[in-house]
Amino acid sequence: MNKLQAVSDFEFFSINQFKIKYTGPDDYKVAAKILGNDPIPLVCKFFYFEVKIIDGGKNGMIGIGFCEPIDQNKKTDDLDIMALPGQKNNSWGYHGDDGYLYCSGSGEPYGPLYTTGDTIGCYLNFQKKIIFYTINGVNLGRACYLPNDLEGNLYPCIGFRSQGGSVEVNFGDRKFEYSGKLLK
């Protein structure tokens, strides 16, 4: 994985290598989403990426997680591209504004809020079918289990509803700030 792809209206984002800034409207109904350009290889036992919060933006509504491919041609009010990770089916996301973990539409308390200066680690363990997160290297514990019948590819996913919010994503093309010991 060496690029990001916008799946929402591209004008919402300023993209420079792996730095992303949400420049869209301050509207609770509008979310913008970015995915890794390639699915996570199914042969991976583990997958990890980090997201450094450069600026939490106006309200801190940034979601980080995983999702299945998004059909941008889908004509419905229930568009996955307009939701943060975890707010729609077959997506999972940890949100910075409330510390909740959202799994396929339902949310529950998970960890502390995150904001400017924090680095969120996102782990996917295909062997155990679990997702877990870290904040600044501190393991928050199991977030959720993946469904046993998961058939599609998964993509790393970041969603924004916080005007001025910006992040830097690391898929391993450079040294991770935190990782190593947690994958063992």
DSSP annotation string for 98-117: T-EEEETTEEEE-S----TT
Domain for residue 184, yes or no? Answer: no
**What is the percentage of the chain residues whose pLDDT exceeds 70?**
80
pLDDT tens string 86-134: 988 889 999 999 999 999 889 999 999 999 999 999 999 988 989 999 9
Residue 183 maps to a domain: no
Residue 90 in any domain: the answer is yes
Phi, psi of 10 (to 5 degrees): -60, -25
- The span from the CA of 5 to the CA of 31, in Å, is 15
> Which two structure tokens, joined as six digits, stand for 83?
């939701």
pLDDT at 141 over 90: yes
Q: List the CATH number of the domain containing 54.
A: 2.60.120.920
Please answer whether residues 134 and 100 qualify as being in contact, where contact means their C-beta atoms are separated by less than 8 angstroms. Answer: no
CB 162 within 8 A of CB 42: no
Alpha carbon distances (Å) from 94 to 16, 40, 77 = 24, 18, 23
Asked whether the predicted pLDDT for residue 77 surpasses 50, the reply is no
More confident position, 60 or 26: 60
137 located within any domain: yes
Place of tokens 């036992």: 45
Domain-located, residue 182? no
Is residue 181 assigned to a domain? no
Q: Is the pLDDT of residue 7 over 60?
A: no
- Residue 178 pLDDT: 87
Number of domains in the chain: 1
Q: Tell me: pLDDT of 74 over 70.
A: no
Q: Identify the residue with better confidence: 78 or 90.
A: 90
Q: Does 10 score more than 50 pLDDT? A: no
Q: Is 118 exposed, middle or buried (0-12, 13-18, 19+ CB in 10 A)?
A: middle
Positive or negative torsion for Cα 15, 17, 18, 19:
negative
Query: What rounded mean pLDDT belongs to the chain?
Result: 83
Model pLDDT, residue 6: 58
Residue 180 pLDDT exceeds 90: no
Quote the CA–CA distance of 48 and 173 in Å, as a whole number. 12
The Cα–Cα gap between 124 and 114 comes to: 20
DSSP secondary structure letter of residue 175: -
Indicate the pTM of the whole model.
0.86
Q: What is the pLDDT of residue 75?
A: 39
For residue 59, the model assigns a pLDDT of: 92
Full domain range(s) for residue 89: 4-176
- Residue 181 has what pLDDT? 56
